[in-house]
Chains A and B, each alone.
Chain A
Amino acid sequence: DVKVTQSSRYLVKRTGEKVFLECVQDMDHENMFWYRQDPGLGLRLIYFSYDVKMKEKGDIPEGYSVSREKKERFSLILESASTNQTSMYLCASSHRGGAKNIQYFGAGTRLSVL
């Protein structure tokens, strides 16, 4: 059974703080993704990675960075959190082969920036 685990379910941070969101998958997937989910906007891709130490920008990368030092772990970093980054963050993983491969999602981290 595929498992994608996000380190926190709920997080409250202050404006200007550096925030780390961690994601671990146990299925040896090559691809990993970070999305944010906002009402009326669906899931928007922030960053994705097709291999260790490799990253590609998604649609909304501004204000975010990522790190993938190990195949199973993909971290999302908010360098200086702002209130407009309050959102639900979802991590996903899939096998190599492009977007046709099913993405498996974590339960999400609801981040509030005050």
Chain B
Amino acid sequence: DQQVKQNSPSLSVQEGRISILNCDYTNSMFDYFLWYKKYPAEGPTFLISISSIKDKNEDGRFTVFLNKSAKHLSLHIVPSQPGDSAVYFCAASVVNDMRFGAGTRLTVKP
């Protein structure tokens, strides 16, 4: 039973446009959410996070939005760059339990 779902296995956008990656979760006890980025032949690396007491967190070109009532979070990348092409994993946690989504492969075309 996957508690964190990324329903889009892949996303393709043009360089300079916005990329929006989505994530849904089922456990309302989750109180901390993270996005990881994974390049081929490398392990996932932390990108950005958000606590459940916030609804938005911004870091440069990356913004994460949290909608607790809908149990939904999204990652916005503006503007998208070819170097952003990677697999993005959403994760949700409570206490010592962290759950990951299946990942979305983002391709940014020049």
Contact = CB atoms under 8 A, between A and B. Distances in A.
**Chain A partners chain B:** yes
Interface in A53-109: 90, 92, 98-100, 102-108
A42 B102 contact: yes
Contacts of A35: 100
A97 to B, nearest CB: 9
Nearest to B4: A42
Interface in B55-104: 89, 93-98, 100-103
A interface majority secondary structure: loop
Nearest to A91: B43
A42 B9 CA distance: 11
Interface residues of B, number: 25
Contact of B95 (A40, A41, A99): A99
B101 A40 contact: no
Nearest to B34: A102
B59 to A, nearest CB: 13
Nearest to B92: A99
Nearest to B45: A105
Interface of A: 4, 9, 35, 39-45, 48, 50, 90, 92, 98-100, 102-108
